[in-house]
Amino acid sequence: DGGITQSPKYLFRKEGQNVTLSCEQNLNHDAMYWYRQDPGQGLRLIYYSQIVNDFQKGDIAEGYSVSREKKESFPLTVTSAQKNPTAFYLCASSKGQGVYNEQFFGPGTRLTVL
Amino acid sequence: QQPVQSPQAVILREGEDAVINCSSSKALYSVHWYRQKHGEAPVFLMILLKGGEQKGHDKISASFNEKKQQSSLYLTASQLSYSGTYFCGTFTGTASKLTFGTGTRLQVTL
């Protein structure tokens, strides 16, 4: 079955540590996205990539980094520079340009900083 | 800029209807609607495009008023499974990314 996988489902991190969240898709989608969701809030875009080896900052990119070396993979690193990283992180992908195409979401990773 | 959704929350009895609104301060190219159940990923419902084209769920309807820069999602004869948080996402002419509203929490009771 095609879909998006994120790992791990739950992640605990000590303050000051970098951590990388995995996102893999086998939908053959060109575009991939990372969102952050805080309790009772909407989804805020961190980074997005429309093609391999290219990505753009979203609305809240500070303290995060990404890479897009393969079409299937779009890992997100939460660095120690991110002041309040505890949140629910969602990865998504779409077939092409986002304005015309629905986004498919992975199950999410819940990150807690201790 | 983030679209504004209204109402913020609504409680319905099974079988009742609801309307969720999404307004933007900028001209819209498309509006996306998603539903998220607690602790789960958002699920696509519908896309409404400038010019009138729609893609999405057979049992859900929505409107897109380009002049007013707003969209409405119509949930008729609600079922318990409709419970969740509904998000609209907007594409405006100045950005090539989807911007989500803060959501409308819908609870359907017996």
Q: Are strands A109-113 and A10-13 parallel, antiparallel or unpaired?
A: parallel
Q: Which pLDDT tens digit goes with each residue over A48-69?
A: 999 999 999 999 999 999 999 9
User: For all residues of chain B together, what is the average pLDDT?
Assistant: 90
Best mutation target, A5, A27, A43, A60, to test chain B (most B CBs within 10 A): A43
Q: What is the pLDDT of residue A71?
A: 97
Comparison of pLDDT for A2 and B36, the residue scoring more: B36
Q: Flag whether pLDDT at A76 surpasses 80.
A: yes
Cα–Cα dist A20/A70, whole Å: 16
Structure tokens at B69: 């820069």
Phi-psi region of B52 (alpha: psi -120 to 50; beta: other; left: phi over 0): left
pLDDT at position B28, please?
87
Which of A40, A58, A100 has the CB atom closest to B97's CB atom?
A58
Residue indicated by tokens 């002419």: B93
Size of interface A-B (CB pairs under 8 A): 58
**The pLDDT value given to residue A99:** 78
- pLDDT bin (cut points 50, 70, 90) of residue A105 is very high
Considering chain B, what percentage of its residues have pLDDT values greater than 90?
Answer: 69
A14-48: pLDDT as tens digits? 988 999 999 999 999 999 999 999 987 889 999 99
| pLDDT class of B58 with cuts at 50, 70, 90 | low
CB < 8 Å to A108, chain B: 40-41
Which of A104, A43, A1, A97 lies closest to B95, judged by CA? A97
Q: Which residues of A touch B99 (CB under 8 A)?
A: 45, 59
Query: For position B49, what pLDDT does the model report?
Result: 87
Query: Are the Cβ atoms of A45 and B87 closer than 8 angstroms?
Result: no
Contacts of B87 in chain A (CB under 8 A): 42-43
pLDDT attached to residue B95? 64
Query: Which residue bears the tokens 């980074």?
Result: A47
Average pLDDT value over all residues in chain A: 93
Q: How confident is the model at residue B94, as a pLDDT?
A: 62
Instruction: Reply yes or no on whether the pLDDT at B108 is more than 90.
Output: yes
